[in-house]
Structure 1
Amino acid sequence: MNPFFYRLTLAHSRLDAEIRREQKQRAPDPFRLLQLKKLKLAVKDRLHRLIRSRPEGMA
């Protein structure tokens, strides 16, 4: 597995866990949630771009 791909998947799962943790708070911070969700989406977009840029035979 590509180390960059691995780091992105790790960041994606950490952001997901952080979002869940924030949502469980008694009074979740909506701005923090928005920021975390934007970061998670950015990581997801980079993962998809990385997958699409791979040659056909390497999938």
Structure 2
Amino acid sequence: MAFDAHLEALKRKHLAVSDAVEEAQRAPGIDDLKVATMKKEKLRLKEEIVRLTA
């Protein structure tokens, strides 16, 4: 059960970061470095999800 909860938490965090990236990209004057950092975090989360489900 703890594994499933961890996986769901990762998926929720991935979705939240994805939404934050989209919102930041629509905002005028957003720092490109901040967006890049968020994208890297999103990718890290996706890779972890894939690794756990493989």
Q: Same fold (TM over 0.5)?
A: yes
Q: Percent identity?
A: 23
- Structure 1's unaligned 5+ residue stretches are 53-59
Of Structure 1 and Structure 2, the greater helix share is in 2
The 5 Å alignment of 1:45-56 reads 45-52=47-54
How many pairs does the alignment contain?
52
Unaligned runs of 5+ in 2: none
- Mark the structure with the bigger radius of gyration: 1
In the superposition, the TM-score normalised over structure 2's length comes to 0.90
**Structure 1 length as normaliser, TM-score?**
0.83
RMSD in angstroms over aligned alpha carbons?
A: 1.1
* Higher RCO by CA contacts (8 Å cutoff, separation 6 or greater): 2
